[in-house]
Amino acid sequence: MKNIKAIIFDAYGTLFDVNSAAEKCKDKIGNKWENFANYWRTTQLEYTWLRSLMNRHKDFWQVTEDSLDKSMKAFSIDPSMRNELLNLYKVLSPFKEVPEVLKTLKEKKFKLAILSNGTPTLLNELVKSNNLNNLFDDLFSIEQVGIYKPDSKVYDMPIKKYHIEKNEVAFLSANTWDVSGGGNYGFNSIWVNRNNNIFDNLDYKPNLQIKNLKDLLPKLDLK
């Protein structure tokens, strides 16, 4: 993969483990913690898409709260755990290889950025709590354009900021719909398939599929 000038990452599920909030509470939640975490995540994403279609925007933190409330009811989670789960969501853990890979890419002088549904406040807290804030040039939030991924206006943001061509961007996401959104926009879209999932049928095939971020390094023109 040559002529890449910027490497853009999705945040939730790609750099940061969205299940880590519930996992840290598994002693209280019990064996259903993983199913609960997956349900919360699925509901959260569904709400972003539905609100975009209905033109009824709420920011990602409000959507996260709304989807948690539904999920807690669905799994009969003690309501007293709500604040604990929300606070843990603000400081989700990165996947273990993330800091090392980001440092390597930074040393190679790539532009590094996050492009996320998250609010600016959420993204800043997320990277700072994990000591990653000095590794990113930008944290692009959909709040700048007022609509969620995979709307093309979201993917426009780094292109307009960096004044580069779409094919000079490597875009990484663990979410197949996001990989397709970025790829259809014109990015070199890379699927981070951590869990051996099946790619969605959205008339797009990723430029590259990797198991984790370490697999990206040999594919880049690192000098």
Domain range spanning residue 77?
20-89
Q: 39 with 70: CB under 8 angstroms?
A: no
Task: Enumerate the active-site residues.
Answer: 10
Q: CA 105, CA 136: separation in Å to the nearest integer?
A: 10
- Stretches where the chain sits below pLDDT 70 are 223
Residues 206 and 145 in one domain: yes
For the stretch 115-167, pLDDT in tens is 999 999 999 999 999 999 999 999 999 999 999 999 999 999 999 999 999 99
Say what the pLDDT of residue 2 is.
83
The per-residue pLDDT of the chain, averaged, comes to: 96
Say what the pLDDT of residue 223 is.
62
Say what the pLDDT of residue 111 is.
96
Using the 3D structure, point to which of 89, 107, 129 is the last residue of a domain: 89
Domain count, the chain: 2
Using the 3D structure, point to which of 89, 112, 142 is the last residue of a domain: 89
Q: What is the CATH number of the domain that holds 47?
A: 1.10.150.240
Using the 3D structure, point to which of 57, 89, 121 is the last residue of a domain: 89
Residues 133 and 166 in one domain: yes
Q: 193 with 210: CB under 8 angstroms?
A: yes
Residue 1 maps to a domain:
no
Say what the pLDDT of residue 187 is.
98
